[in-house]
């Protein structure tokens, strides 16, 4: 594994047992190799069921490898302490409805081992930044989808992560929320961190990503700079051609 990589997947396989196929396994990811280095924003692109979410789950320790290797912040996946340096924004946060926004952030800050004397002022700054300072002591059950997504961004930044993982992060966000997310990405990169972005929104990918990795049917079929991928074409056009050709 490369010492400088924040994330490195090397020849990763993931299979699932399929009860409908008489003992045969379903291959979700096949021989995938990719990396995210400091200062990079890497777009993980592909059609539905390409294996993008599976790679994210593997990276976060939510499912087990079937083969290959993954390093997270230079350490093997088995070193779960590295998760304290990872931030994750999901498209549909399943936060409980009864705690307040402030209480939720206090809970996640403790999980990330943020000292209390640092955590409390940081929560105030983050709630202000995501536009929820005036709703900090309201139950999350009263929040709209966009507000929950803003809270998810605050939660992901509590530990000032070296690695930020974004899985369809603009779902439910208005224009100002999308601008906020781009600013967050720039801040992480500016600190020498890296970002792994899963998105179907072409404009977001083109605005923030330095490189792209394209998955089709569980395999990495293209990766490189956006200029290499696009070759002067709109992103939707380039991706449609890659998907239809299976990466050829």
Sign of CA dihedral 134, 137, 142, 144: positive
Residue pointed to by tokens 């209480």: 103
Helices 175-190 and 145-157: angle between axes, nearest 10 degrees:
10
pTM as predicted? 0.91
The DSSP secondary-structure symbol of 1 reads -
Query: How far is the C-alpha of 9 from the C-alpha of 214, rounded, in Å?
Result: 14
Domains of the chain, earliest start first: 7-244 (3.40.50.300)
pLDDT in tens, the chain (248 residues): 454 799 999 999 999 887 776 667 889 999 999 999 999 999 999 998 899 999 999 999 999 999 999 999 999 999 989 999 999 999 888 899 999 999 999 999 998 889 999 999 999 999 999 999 999 999 999 999 999 999 999 999 999 999 999 999 988 899 999 999 999 999 999 999 999 999 888 888 888 999 999 999 999 999 999 888 888 888 888 888 888 876 55
Interior/surface letters 195-215, b for 16+ CB within 10 angstroms, e for the rest: bbbbbbebebbeebbbbbbbb
Distance CA 248, CA 245 (A): 5
Among the listed residues 179, 176, 209, 214, the one whose alpha carbon sits nearest the alpha carbon of residue 194: 209
């Amino acid at each position: 594994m490369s010492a400088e990589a924040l994330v490195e997947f090397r020849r990763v396989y993931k299979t699932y047992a399929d009860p409908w196929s008489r003992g045969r396994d379903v291959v979700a990811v096949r021989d995938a190799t990719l990396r995210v280095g400091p200062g990079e924003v890497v777009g993980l692109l592909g059609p539905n069921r390409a294996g993008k979410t599976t790679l994210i789950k593997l990276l976060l320790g939510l499912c087990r490898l079937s083969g290959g290797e993954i390093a997270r912040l230079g350490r093997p996946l088995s070193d779960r302490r590295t998760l304290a340096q990872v931030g994750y924004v999901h498209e549909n946060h399943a936060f409980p409805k009864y705690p307040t926004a402030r209480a939720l952030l206090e809970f996640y800050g403790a999980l990330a081992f943020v000292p209390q004397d640092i955590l409390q002022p940081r929560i105030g700054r983050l709630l202000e930044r995501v536009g929820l300072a005036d709703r900090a002591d309201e139950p999350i059950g009263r929040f709209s989808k966009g507000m929950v997504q803003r809270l998810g961004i605050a939660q992901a930044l509590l530990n000032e992560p070296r690695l930020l993982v974004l899985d369809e992060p603009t779902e439910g966000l208005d224009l100002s929320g999308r601008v906020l997310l781009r600013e967050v990405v720039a801040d992480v990169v500016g600190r020498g961190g890296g970002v792994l972005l899963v998105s179907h929104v072409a404009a977001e990918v083109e605005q923030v990503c330095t490189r792209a990795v394209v998955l089709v049917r569980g395999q990495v079929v293209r990766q490189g700079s956006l200029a290499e991928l696009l070759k002067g074409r709109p992103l939707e056009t380039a991706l449609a051609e890659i998907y239809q050709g299976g990466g050829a």
